[in-house]
Structure 1
Amino acid sequence: MPMSRDRQEEKRPRKRARVDSDDEDQQQQQRQKANGTPLRAGVNGSASNPNTPKKEPIRHWRVKAEYWDNTPTKEVADLDDVFYLSDPSATVYIRCKDTMFKIHERMFTCTEFFQECLDSHGPTSISNPHRMVAATVDELRAFFWALYATDSQLAEKITEFPHLQRVFRICSMTRKYPDLPRMIEWADAQVRSVAADNVFMDSCSSAALAEFTTFAILHEFPDELALIQKKWCERLQSKSAPSVPAIQVADEYPEDLKELRGIAYYLHIQDMMDRQTQFTESGATHLFADPKLNNGQVMRLLAGYWSLSALWERLRLKPAELPLGASCCDEAHAKCISIWERRWTSAAGWKRILGINTADALALLSCLQDQLSNDDDLKVINPDCRRAGLEEIRKLREKTKDGLGDHFAGVV
C-alpha cells in the first residue's frame, strides 16, 4: 500500500540530516533554479536571488537524537497560544508533537524546502495538518516569531536571558533547515553580540552560563565559547558565581572546558578549606563531600588537594632556578644563586605564607613573589638576576594556573 503524504514528509528531514555536504549543496542549487521568487525581506532572504552573496558550505551540526522524537501523545493537539492565528487568511495548519500552529502560507513557504513539503502534503486542515518532525515545539515557536518579527524587533538588543534562549532555538532551527541564509546570519550575529557583552554576561546566573556554554559547544561557536569560559572563570575567581555548577558542566565537556574545569575544582577546594578550621587526613573525604557532587567528583577534589599540596612541598624545598642576568657573569652568578636559594627557603617559612593552606598553590606563589620582591637581603644580588628570578616565579604561577586541570584528572 502506498505511504500517505504525511508519512512521506516525515521521512524528508531524516534524509536531509544524513546526506553529505556535496549532495546537500547540489540539491539546494537544484531547488534554487526551480524557484526564482525572492523570499520575504528581513531575516529570511532569498536563497535563489542572484544578488545574494555566495555562502560558505553548510556545516553539519551536532544535534541531540531526542530532537527527532516527535511522536504525539494526544489525539487532539493543543492550540498554540501565540501562533495559532485567528486571521482567516492564515490557512496552513502545522502540528509539532502535541501542539497545533496555524500561520500564513506566505510565511511557511519562505524556503524551497518548506514549499516542497507543503506541495507534497496538499491543503492542510486542523484534522489533516502538516507535521513537523525534526523541530521541537519551542524551536518552531521561536522560528515563527522570527518570521513575523518587525525590523525593530529584530534589531532590539538582548537584555534578558529568555530572549537569548529564543535565539538559541532559532539557531537550532536554521541548522536543521539550512535554507535560511539571512536568518542564520542574524541569529549567529545575535549570539556573538551577547557573548561579547560584559554587562549581560555578568547578569547571567550559573544555570544561564551552563546553557549558553552547552549551546556554544553543540552548535560550534568556538570564539564565543572562549569568551563565555573566560567570563565564567573571572566570576568564579571574584566569587560572584558558585563553583559547583561550573564543575558539573565542565565534567560533561572536559575537552572543551579544560580551563573552566581546573579553576572550578581548584576554587571549590579553597572554599571548602576556608570553611574548615581544622583539617586532618582522616577527615579529608568528609571535608570535600557535597550533596551536589557525585562520588567521582569528590574523589577528584581529594586527589587534587593532595596533588597541589605535593606541588607546594616540592617548590618549598627546591627553589626555582635563577636565570643568569644580562649584566652578570658566571663567577658572580654562583653567589647570586646561593643567596637566592637561601632567601627562598627563608621566605617559604615566613608566618604570612604558613597561614595559606598548602593546596592554594596560586596564592602561595603570589605571596612568595611579593615576599622576595621586598626582601632587603635579596637586593644585594645582581639587579638583573633578581628581576629574572622574580619573573621566573610569575611564569611558574601562570604555568601552574594553566595546568590546574591536570591535578584533577585521571580519577574515576
Structure 2
Amino acid sequence: MAHLPSEVYLTNTFMHSGNVSPSTPKLQLQLSIPIPARDPTYYISDGNTVLLVESTLFKVHRSILKNDKSTFDSMFSLDSDLRSNSDASSSSVTVGPEGESDDNPIRLQGDTADEFRALLWALYATPPDFERAVSPKSNNLLQLFNLARITHKYEFHAIERWTLDTLTKRYTSSDPPSSIDDPHEPSLVQLTELASLCEKRALLDAATKRWKRVIASGKDIALAIGVAERHNMRALLGLAYYTMMLQGREQWDADMLLTRAQRIRLLSGHYALGRLGERIPNEPPSLAHSPRCAGGAQVRCNQSWAALWRSLLEMGRQVLPLQYADVVGKVMMAESVVKALVDGNIPTQGMLDGMPWCKDNALAAAAGKVKELQETLADYFTDVV
C-alpha cells in the first residue's frame, strides 16, 4: 500500500471498518488551500511581471521594482542570465518563464500582502500622495510600518529613509499617536522591533518613552522585559525588572510571560539591591567643592555631607513605607529633601551649616546618584543569586 498522510489513512480505516454504524461520526479530512486572487489595485493590465505574495497576485512593471538599485534589480538580472543559459542549452520549454503568468508567478516568501501593497503604493505614488502621507491627520501608521519593513528587506534605501523619518516625526511630534492598541497602528512591540531592525535611534527612543509610560501604569511589564532583553535596551530593561521586582514574588509567579531565567534574575536583583540599600547610607556620593571651600573647610564639608546623607537615608528607611530593596526610592527621597533644604522650603536645623559654599553641589551629587542608579539598574538583575 502506498504511503499516505496519517489523516488520510485514519479516515480510510475508520470509514471502511466493519464496526462503523450509521450514527458513528466520521473523521473528515478538510484541505484548505487558498486560491490566489488578483489584487484589486495592483494587478495592472499592462504590467509585465506577476508576483505571488501570500495568496494575492500582483501584476506590475518590472522596471518599477528595479528602482533605487533594490534587491529586485539583482534578482531580475540573475533571472535574465539564467534564461539566456537555458535558451542556449534547450530548444523546448514546457513551462513559461517565472513571473510572466498567473500560473507561474514569482513567489515572495516571508512577506505579507499588506507589506507588498505598501511597497507598490510608494513606487507608484505621486508627489501629492507623499504630501498627504506625512500629514499628522493621515490614518496610515500601519501602512508606513509595513513600508519600512519591506523597503529595509529589499534595500529600497531612499524610500526606507523617507518612511523612517516620517514615522519618527509622527511619534516624536507634540501630538503623537495616543493609543498603542489601535488596529490602524503597529503595536509597541512591532514599533520597537522595527526601530531596532533599521537602527533608527530616534524612533527607538520614542518607543522607549512609550514603554516607560506603560511600565509606570503597571501594565505589560513582563512583555517589556522580553523586548528589552531581545534588543539589549539596558535602561528600559533595568526599569522593567525593577518595577516587576517591587510588585513582589506572588506577582512574578503569577505572570505567565516570565521565564524561569527571568525569575532568577528578579531574585538576584532583589538580593543585590537589598544589600546595596544597607551599604548606601555610609557611602555618600562624591561632593564637588566650591573654590571657596578649601583646606580644613573641605574636611568639615565632607563630614557634614556624609552625616546629612546618612541621616536622610536612615530616616527614609524608618519613616517611609519603602520596600527593603527599593534603593532608587530611598535615594530619590534623599534628593528631594536636600532640594527642599537648599531651596529653603523646610528648616535646615543646622544640617547645612558645615557646607556653606557647597549646598548646591550637594544637591547635584544627590541628583547624580539617582541618575547613576537608574542607568545601572540592569546590572543588578543577573543570572546569579
**TM-score, structure 1 normalization:** 0.66
Render the CA deviation track for 1:224-246: whole Å, top value 9, x for unaligned: 3234324433x146538642221
Letter in 1 for 2:252: F
Letter in 2 for 1:309: G
Residues 190-214 of structure 1: CA deviation (Å, up to 9, x unaligned): 2332343353254335972221111
| Partner residue in 2 for 1:167 | 144
1:221 corresponding residue in structure 2: 200
For residues 352-383 of structure 1, the C-alpha deviation after alignment (integer angstroms, 9 at most, x for no partner) is 75422232222211211233424322132232
Contact 1:108 1:115 in 2 (8 A): no
Alignment match, 2:224: 246
SS at match of 2:350: helix
- Counterpart in 2 of 1:409? 382
Give 2:121's match in structure 1, choosing from 145, 154, 158.
145
Pair 1:388-2:361 in alignment = yes
Aligned length: 323
SS at match of 2:199: coil
When residues 359 and 199 of structure 1 are mapped into structure 2, their CA distance, relative to the original with a 3 A threshold, is: farther
In the alignment, structure 1 residue 331 sits paired with structure 2 residue 296: yes
Of 25, 36, 42, the residue aligned with 1:78 is 36
Rounded to whole Å, the distance in 2 between the matches of 1:182 and 1:333 is 59
2:282–2:306 contact (8 Å) kept in structure 1: no
In the alignment, which residue of structure 1 is the partner of 2:86?
none
Secondary structure (helix, strand or coil) at the match of 1:173 reads: helix
Equivalent in the alignment of 1:293: 258
Amino acid at match of 1:124: E
Which residue pairs with 1:310 in the alignment?
A: 275
Q: Distance in 2 between matches of 1:161 and 1:263?
A: 33
Q: Is the 8 A contact 2:170 2:176 kept in 1?
A: yes
Q: Could you tell me how far apart the structure 2 residues matched to 1:359 and 1:336 are?
A: 30
Per the alignment, residue 234 of structure 2 pairs with 258
In 1, Cα distance between equivalents of 2:283 and 2:178: 41
Q: 2:307 aligns with which of 342, 346, 363?
A: 342
**Displacement after TM superposition at 1:399 (Å):** 0.9
SS of 1:131 mapped into structure 2: strand
After superposition, the Cα gap between the structure-2 partners of 1:327 and 1:264, relative to the gap in structure 1 and judged at 3 Å, is same
The structure 2 residue matched to 1:358, chosen from 324, 327, 343, is 324
Query: Does the CA contact (< 8 Å) of 1:83 and 1:144 recur in 2?
Result: no
* Native 8 Å contact 1:80 1:99 kept in 2: yes
Residue in structure 1 matching 2:102, options 108, 113, 126: 126
Encode CA deviations 1:169-200: one digit per residue, 9 max, x unaligned: 3233333433x454334323323323433532
Q: TM-score, normalised by structure 2?
A: 0.70
Given that residues 251 and 261 in structure 1 are in contact (C-alpha distance below 8 angstroms), is that contact kept between their aligned partners in structure 2? yes
Q: For 1:143 and 1:103, locate their aligned partners in 2 and report how far apart those are by CA, in whole Å.
A: 12
* C-alpha separation in 2, matches of 1:250 and 1:144: 33
Q: CA deviation at 1:394?
A: 1.5
Q: 1:236 to 1:315 in 2, by over 3 A?
A: farther
User: What code does the residue aligned with 1:213 have?
Assistant: T
Q: Tell me the equivalent position of 1:61.
A: none
SS of the residue aligned with 2:57? strand
Separation in structure 1 between the aligned mates of residue 113 and residue 270 of structure 2, nearest angstrom: 46
Structure 1 position 400, deviation (Å) = 0.9
Whichever of the two has the greater Rg, that structure is 2
The letter of the residue matching 1:369 is E
**For residues 198 and 288 of structure 1, do their structure 2 counterparts lie closer, same or farther at Cα, with a shift above 3 Å needed?**
farther
Which residue matches 2:211?
Answer: 232
Give structure 2 stretches of 5+ with no counterpart. Answer: 1-30, 84-96
Q: Is the 8 A contact 1:343 1:377 kept in 2?
A: no
- Assess if the C-alpha contact under 8 Å between 2:51 and 2:57 holds in 1: yes
Q: Secondary structure at the match of 2:242?
A: helix
Q: Give the gaps of 5 or more residues in structure 1.
A: 1-72, 274-284
8 Å Cα contact 2:313/2:331 also seen in 1: no
Shift in Å, 1:143: 1.4
Q: Percent identity?
A: 24
Q: Aligned to 2:144, what secondary structure does the other structure show?
A: helix
Q: How does 1:2-81 map to 2 (within 5 A)?
A: 77-81=35-39
